[in-house]
Amino acid sequence: MSEIKPEQLGTLQKINEKYDALGQDAGAFLKGFSHNKPVTYWDYVEVETLLSLQRPRTDFPDEPIFIMYHQVTELLLKLIVHELQQVVDAENLTPAFFKIKLERVNRYAGVLTQSFSVMREGMDYEQYNEFRLALAPASGFQSAQFRIVEIMCTDILNLVNSRVKGKISEDVGMDQIFEELYWKDAGLDRKTGKKTQTLKMFEEKYEDDLKSLAGKMKSKNLLQQFLSFKESDLGYAEMKNAIREFDHTYNVVWPLSHLKTAEYYLNSKGENKAATGGSEWQKYLHPAYQRRVFFPQLWSEEELKNWGNF
């Protein structure tokens, strides 16, 4: 039996203190630990589970690519949400912490933008336009995490459609505000009031939770956290640059990359095919049409006027 080293005694003392504070027996923990199996990469990362999550609806070989691409996208969105959560929850937020988190967010957003080459160059044109017909009414529009990022980033009134922007206040209540959110235009005929199945299913599953989140983020979203700093704070310029970069990447560069991919598969031959969710995808995806801006206070009038064109 090897002799216990001084540093090991220190570790044992820390374990004992930890479990004493929890009212637990450290000895029982250590005895249980002695029975644990070694951690393996495949168990820790859940590789087998992860690789089993692709369930194509057709036999076209390129459909699994489409599924895996969107699964990767959702994981990247989860990384963004993970970092944003730490910023909005911070009690004593510092410029250094804010900057580090936004740099990570920008890194993930950059991967999202670059990843569209997997879609644009990675699937057969004819295969895609066949297997996608089996996916309706599913649509990327139904990504709840995309909406969560939006709500965590900015004041909810910055997400209403252009028809009511500047004409509606939070006093009208969250229910009415949600009826005017910009993204509902992708699944709602404003003239008839009829909603697509895509929108109705999404609302049924997620809208209550999104409204609750919007209420919680009212005073501590990413924008409000940034506005709590002073221009005189050390690192203010770097924070501003980081948050502007994210706004532009997420709301201009990424949507334009998405639009170019959609144009290739849905309109490269002048067919102007409908999206699986039934939206007017050209208008929905183009940032100049939606003018979704998370941090309007940080952009000049000229920049806002040309949003989506620079």
SS (H, E, C) 211-241: HHHHHHCCCCCHHHHHHCCCCCCCCHHHHHH
CA 122 vs CA 65, 79, 112, 178, 200: distances in Å: 8, 24, 15, 36, 31
**If pLDDT is split at 50, 70 and 90, which confidence band does 310 have?**
low
- pTM of structure: 0.90
Q: Does residue 147 register a pLDDT over 70?
A: yes
User: At residue 272, does pLDDT exceed 90?
Assistant: no
Whether the per-residue pLDDT at 215 is higher than 60: the answer is: yes
* pLDDT given at position 240: 97
| Mean pLDDT on 65-73 | 96
Give the model's pLDDT for residue 259: 86
The DSSP-derived string for 51-98 is HT----SS--TTHHHHHHHHHHHHHHHHHHHHHHHHHHH-SS--HHHH
Place of tokens 């990504």: 143
Arithmetic mean of pLDDT, 176-181: 95
Instruction: Say yes or no to pLDDT of 210 above 70.
Output: yes
Task: Tell me the mean pLDDT in the region 243-269.
Answer: 89
Give the count of beta carbons closer than 10 Å to the beta carbon of residue 128. Answer: 20
Higher pLDDT, residue 216 or 264? 216
pLDDT at position 2 is 66
Degrees (nearest 5) of the Cα angle 183, 276, 249?
45
What percentage of the chain carries pLDDT values higher than 70?
Answer: 96
Q: pLDDT band at residue 106, thresholds of 50, 70 and 90?
A: very high
Identify the band that residue 1 occupies on the pLDDT scale cut at 50, 70 and 90: low
Average pLDDT taken over every residue of the chain:
91
Burial class (CB in 10 A: 0-12, 13-18, 19+), 255: buried
| Dihedral angle computed from the Cα positions of residues 227, 233, 237 and 239, in that order, rounded to the nearest 10 degrees | -60
Query: What is the predicted pLDDT for the residue at 11?
Result: 81
In the prediction, which pLDDT does 133 show?
93
Instruction: Please report which confidence band the pLDDT of residue 131 belongs to, taking 50, 70 and 90 as the band edges.
Output: very high
pLDDT computed for residue 205 by the predictor = 98
| Alpha-helical regions (H) of 196-306 | 197-216, 222-227, 236-248, 254-267, 281-285, 287-290, 301-305
Residue-wise pLDDT for 52-64, tens only, equals 999 999 999 999 9
Residue 279 has pLDDT above 90, yes or no: no
Lowest mean pLDDT, pick from 158-167, 222-231, 245-254, 286-295 = 286-295
Q: What's residue 264's pLDDT? A: 85
Over residues 291-301, mean pLDDT: 95
What is the pLDDT at residue 72?
Answer: 97
Asked if residue 116 has pLDDT above 70, the reply is: yes
